[in-house]
Every structure is written in C-alpha cells, then in structure tokens.
Amino acid sequence: MRKYLPDETVVLNGMLRERVEREGDCEVVVPNPLLDYFESQAREGRDSGLVGLAELSRLKALSEEGRIRISFWGEHGVPEEGGLSRYLREASRMTDSVLLTSDPVTAELAKIEGVRVELLSPTLEGRRPRLLEYFGPDTMSVHLKARVRPLAKVGRPGRLRVQFLGEKPLTEGELREMAQEIVELSKRDPECFVEIERKGATVIQYREYRIAIARPPFSDGFEITAVRPVAKVRLEDYKLSSKLKERLKSSAEGILIAGPPGAGKSTFAQALAEFYRSSHKIVKTMESPRDLQVGDEITQYTSLEGDMEKTADILLLVRPDYTIYDELRKTSDFQIFTDMRLAGVGMVGVVHSTRAIDAIQRLIGRVELGMIPMIVDTVIFIKEGEISQVYSLRSSIKVPCGMRDEDLARPVVEVLDFETEEPVYEIYTFGEQVVVSDLRELGSHRRESPPFRYPRRRWR
C-alpha cells in the first residue's frame, strides 16, 4: 500500500485529496504538528487554517468509506516559525512515507536529505469558482452575506445600480464552501495572490477580481465581496484638452487622481499608466492589494514584508520614470509619496475625496505647506467616470485675498483652474492656523469676508 505524508501546500490547494481519490487503496499519514498548525490558524480566524481543516475532514470521510486509510503520527505541538517543513521531512523519513508537496524548495531540500518526495504541480483544469457565476458582462461588484439575498452593482462608474441576484438568502455554509474554493484555487493559480490574511479577514486577488472575505468577530456575519474593473479604457477615451494632454506628456510629475469611491479613479490610473508605458517610460505600481489591470510590461509591487516604505526603498533603486501609488490613505502613504517625488520619481497617487481641493488638503499637516507645489503639480478629479476638474498648483509671495495691509504678504499656495489658469483657492498660514480660502466664495466685492480656517496640526 502506498504511503503518503503531505505538507501544508498540497492540503490547501486540494492536490492531496485529488491524488488519493484518483488512486485509492493508499495510506495518508498526517503528522499531528500539521494538524495543530491548521488548528492554530483556524482559531485565529485565518482562512488557510479553516480550509486546511476542511480538507482533512474530507480525507477522514474517505477513510470512513473505506477508500483510503488515514493515520496520525507524532507528538502534538506547532513547530517554531520555519520549522514545520523541516519537521515534515524528518517525519516522512521516520514513517517511510513519500513526502507530497507543491513547494519546489521543500522538494529540493527533501532530495538533498535523501527523503522520498514527489512534487505535485497545481493544475486548474478549467475550474472556475462558483462565486464568479454571479458576474455578468456589466457587473462591477458582488456582495454576498449569510442570511441575505445576493446583491450586485451593475453598470459603469456614474451609472451604477444595485440589484438582487436571487430571491433566496444565502446560508453561511454556502459562503464557507465558496470561500474554501477561492482559497484553494488561489493556491494553484500563479496569477492569484493572498494579499492580506488577518484574524477574521482575508483579501485575495484572483486574476482581475479582488475578493474580500470577512467573518465574525471582525464582521457581524459571514460575508464575501468581489470587485472587478468593468471597463479598461485608454487615455484617448477621456475628454482631454490638448493642453492637458501636453501637460501629462511633458511636465506633470506629481499627480493626484481624486474622487469618491466607485467614480473611476483606478480606471483612469490604469489608462494613465498605459499611456506612459506607450510613451516609452518605465512604469511601476505600488498597490495593496494589487488590483490595477495593466500590461505585463508594468510591474506591480505590493507592500514588502507588510511595509510600503520597504517597497519604496526597492523602487528608489529601480528608478522608474513613473510610479502609480494606489491608494493614498494613511499618513505613511503620503510621506512615502512625498519622499519618492522629492527623490525625482514621477508619482501618480490615487486619493479618495469628495472634492478636488480635499485631495490637496489631505497633504496639509503631513508635509510642510510650502513644499506642496513641489510634491503635487496637478490634481485630476474624477466623477462618474469622467474628468470633472483639473487643478494646478504654484507658490507665490503675496498678500492673501481678504487682506489689505501689504505687511501681511506671505508665502501662498495657489490652486488654479488648469484650463483657465484662474486662481480658485489660496492656502497660507495665519498665526497658528492654516487657511484654505475659496476665492469663488469671497468674490470681487467680498474680499473682507473671513476665509475658512482650521488649526495647524501634525497628522499622526
């Protein structure tokens, strides 16, 4: 009787179960530390642990049917980090089993140590996750939750509608099966990545689909959300003036793409990345998770060891012409964006905001006020899939609007309408405050009116 000892990779990607179902009349030796490893992962709410235990349960069912034999070996306990693979190789030798793995490094080490090993290369065989059956040609996102009817957003940015995909609420068991299938297939497909795995939450980039899995206690119910881009457009498909085209081509090197969620910011960022690539520029992206749909010539980087600052260190050595940073949210994101821009890299940042000026205001307090025009020279606001506003920035020394005394002249950041070059906002310091003055509200006859002010503060 053939005797196999699996590592965690062939359990998670389902290759072990497929092998023994196909062969039958074999024995599977499960080391207790491997079982304990999956248990610890499952108790932390990680999908890899839950999938591993589910696969072992299926193997147990096969043994109860008499199709295979399953046995457990060794003392309980989870080996220290990096020690599980070493333990499994030794266990395979001691039990006279063939080690099954999908990890080339483990297979090579086993050969060096004289351990019998078989490398199982994952195959997809045309499998398609059940979750993707909910997507139609115009479906942008699917929202599935236990005890709730499945929902989807359908249409294009700016013309989205929410519709039910069925009358029957989904059960938690159905969602768990879908989640396990997604995790299993993500371990097989080289184009798929587990981007984030935390207690109660997992984010997987499955080809063009970004799939977020949430479960209690992180969420109040089991939930799966899948999002994909519904349109891949070229920059020529947008209504760009010849002036803006020239700006993007020749002089814009600090760009913020702003807009509310679902407005089409990432779609425009993808088009801009392809535009620079076609202009013979070296383009990279910084994303977590990686969900921009760009050509193979553009390398997509994620956070290195969970830290985007380390990613930036690598990119500064690579020295791309342009880097697309999707998305800027935390203070550290803006600081990294700033450091790379001041190092001479052309930067394009994607920012959530309800107004174009809000994207600029998110820099206030995070960087010195006078440096903002050196970091950002162009702000493109996307609304309903179209370019709604374009601002440019410049620095000047002047008396701010609303003041009359020439002694009050000070450095001012002017935000201009790009097409008309008319000032729209002024940003300056007044005492301990930073003032963002909307010149359109002041008007030519209301320059005495006090502009909006808020205290200067440092973001943490």
Backbone angles phi, psi at 132, to 5 degrees: -70, -10
Looking at the predicted structure, is the pLDDT value of residue 29 above 80? yes
**What kind of architecture, by CATH, is found in domain 130-227?**
2-Layer Sandwich (3.30)
Domain boundaries, the chain: 2-119, 130-227, 235-455
Looking at the predicted structure, is the pLDDT value of residue 126 above 70? no
Instruction: 78-81: list long-range contacts, CB under 8 Å, 24+ apart.
Output: 78/33, 78/36, 78/37, 78/40, 79/33, 79/37
Contact between 92 and 117 under an 8 Å Cβ cutoff? The reply is yes
Contact between 141 and 153 under an 8 Å Cβ cutoff? The reply is yes
Backbone angles phi, psi at 435, to 5 degrees: -105, 130
**Percentages (nearest 5) of helix, strand, coil residues in the chain:** 35, 30, 35
**Residues facing 323 on adjacent strands:** 284, 347
Q: Tell me which of 199 and 213 has the higher pLDDT.
A: 213
pLDDT, position 231? 66
pLDDT, position 187? 80
Interior/surface letters 237-253, b for 16+ CB within 10 angstroms, e for the rest: ebebeeebeebbeeebb
Amino acid letter for position 150: P
Which helix (H) or strand (E) segment is 286 a member of? strand 283-287
pTM (2 d.p.) = 0.73
Contact between 4 and 92 under an 8 Å Cβ cutoff? The reply is no
Q: How far, in Å, CA of 257 to CA of 270, rounded?
A: 11
Backbone angles phi, psi at 265, to 5 degrees: -65, -50
pLDDT digits (tens, 9 = 90+) for 171-194: 999 999 999 888 888 887 777 888
pLDDT digits (tens, 9 = 90+) for 81-104: 768 999 999 999 999 999 999 999
What does pLDDT average to over the chain?
Answer: 88
Spacing of C-alpha 378 from chain mean position: 24
pLDDT, position 415? 95
Beta-carbon contacts of residue 173 (< 8 Å; ≥ 6 apart): none
Q: How far, in Å, CA of 377 to CA of 251, rounded?
A: 9
SS3 328: strand
Which helix (H) or strand (E) segment is 93 a member of? helix 84-94
Q: Locate tokens 């985007």: which residue?
A: 308
Equal CATH topology for 130-227 and 235-455 = no
Assigned CATH class of 2-119: alpha beta
Average pLDDT rounded to a whole number, residues 131-158: 90
Looking at the predicted structure, is the pLDDT value of residue 349 above 60? yes
pLDDT, position 195? 82
pLDDT classification of 314: cutoffs 50, 70, 90: very high
pLDDT, position 45? 82
Amino acid letter for position 363: L
Q: Which two tokens stand for residue 340?
A: 């790379």
pLDDT classification of 158: cutoffs 50, 70, 90: low
Topology (CATH) of 235-455: Rossmann fold (3.40.50)
Q: Which two tokens stand for residue 70?
A: 């399953």
Beta-sheet pairing, 192-198 with 201-206: antiparallel
Q: Tell me which of 106 and 237 has the higher pLDDT.
A: 106
Q: Tell me which of 185 and 341 has the higher pLDDT.
A: 341
Beta-carbon contacts of residue 325 (< 8 Å; ≥ 6 apart): 285, 286, 333, 336, 337, 340, 347, 348, 349, 350
Backbone angles phi, psi at 56, to 5 degrees: -65, -35
